[in-house]
Amino acid sequence: MTPSKWVRIWSERLPDVPLTLHAVTPAEAFGALREGAADAGLVRLPVDGDDLSAIPLYTETTVVVVPKDHLFAAVEEVAAEDLADELVLHPLDDTLGWERPPGRPAFERPATTADAIELVAAGVGLLVVPQSLARLHHRKDLTYRTLTGVPQSRVALSWPAADEAPDLVEEFIGIVRGRTVNSTRGRRAEEKKGRKEQKPAASGSGKPAKSGKSGAGSRTSGRPAARRGGTGGSARGGRSGKPRRRS
């Protein structure tokens, strides 16, 4: 995954709350959420079980990883049928969920995607993976091309199921879904609402207005986030500057 944009937005909106990222394998991700090692996680669908909530974020492009001097490196896109005569590696930690990839199977399956990358670099077959994994395992002697006609991996944000997500998880949900800082949901929006309600009344009585309930910190434990995982703007109105017509 590449969550750098969301991490940057988090640090801008909640500079007082550290966001700790933990890299885990796809096989470990759901266990980390269930065991409380993380408050939310970027995972690949489907989610295994009803005890975790999830919202789909995007679908990743599938690519084929090849040596830089391979014939496929000369084209922009490769079709699944083009792999028919190629030896295609199928690591045990494959994330595409198919029984077997196109092409000729190897005698043994590599234990990990990292192992498969090493084999591709050694000239032993090709590898089909989501694009983010190709970027993660980038090497100067390898490249990748978009592969069509094959499954794609769907990425989601997941957290332990509950009637309502914890405040800081809700903040991260808002960030990854593109909510602006002025959204009506999230801790910062509730704090802003609370400050607005505490302003003096405009009635001229001199008494401050009654403040309403504010959700600021009401469910925030003070623990570090992700372990809890747009920019918004407002327009300020003014006079139009046009002269008034005299009657």
pLDDT (0 to 100) of residue 223: 41
Q: Is residue 52 part of a domain?
A: yes
- Ramachandran area for residue 192 (φ above 0: left; ψ -120 to 50: alpha; else beta): alpha
Neighbours of 90 (CB within 10 A): 20
Q: What is the pLDDT of residues 13-45, one digit of tens each?
A: 999 999 999 988 888 899 999 999 999 999 999
End residue of a domain, out of 103, 128, 152:
152
Q: Note the pLDDT tens digit of each residue in 50-97.
A: 899 999 999 999 999 999 999 999 999 999 999 999 999 999 999 998
Per-residue pLDDT at 186:
54
Count of residues making up the chain = 247
- What mean pLDDT is reported for the chain? 80
Q: Is the peptide bond before 46 cis (omega within 30 degrees of 0)?
A: yes
- Residue 44's domain spans which residues? 4-57+155-185
Considering the entire predicted model, what is its pTM?
0.68
229 lies in a domain? no
Helix (H, G, I), strand (E, B), or coil: what is residue 172?
Answer: helix
The dihedral over CA atoms of 62, 67, 72, 76, expressed in degrees to the nearest 10, equals 60
Instruction: Determine the straight-line distance between the first and last CA of the chain, rounded to whole angstroms.
Output: 67
Q: Are residues 66 and 136 in the same domain?
A: yes
How far is 159 from 41, CA to CA, in rounded Å? 6
pLDDT over 70 (residue 241) = no
Band (pLDDT 50/70/90 cuts) for residue 118 is: very high
pLDDT at 131 over 50: yes
Local structure of residue 106 (DSSP, 8 states): P
In a domain, 237, yes or no: no
Lookup: tokens for 5: 């944009």
19 and 41 inside one domain: yes
State residue 27's pLDDT score.
80
What does the block give as tokens for 191? 């704090």
